Amino acid sequence: MKLRPLDDRVVIEPLEAEEKTAGGIVLPDAAREKPQRGRVVAVGPGKRLDDGSFAKIALEKGDEVIFGKYSGSEVTVDGAEYKIMRESDVLAKIVK
């Protein structure tokens, strides 16, 4: 099954949370924070404007992004977990 988001929504695959601290301490599952980084896997057509056209979305498939801890909706499709959120909920795009 493939996901195709509507309007200005994006589908993000969260990246794994860090298993170690900067000092080298291994964190148990309960102590790990929710991931705030992810990879964009699908992008909607954009927000519909008053004239019926769509506003272009600044994100593309494959972009690595940072989002808020509790933003978006978590969904599971074919055993994989994704987050669906509006483009405005994405805080930053990581440029390499």
User: What is the Cα–Cα distance from 70 to 57, expressed in whole angstroms?
Assistant: 22
In a domain, 46, yes or no: yes
Q: Cα–Cα distances in Å, from 73 out to 27, 34, 49, 53, 76?
A: 26, 13, 24, 26, 10
Number of independent structural domains in the chain: 1
CATH of the domain at 73: 2.30.33.40
50-88: per-residue pLDDT in tens? 998 889 899 999 999 999 888 899 999 888 899 999 999
In a domain, 22, yes or no: no
Q: What is the pTM of this model?
A: 0.78
pLDDT(32) > 60: no
Question: Which letter does DSSP use for residue 96 in this model?
Answer: -
Count CB atoms within 10 A of the CB of residue 23. Answer: 5
In a domain, 3, yes or no: no
Range of the domain at 54: 9-16+34-94
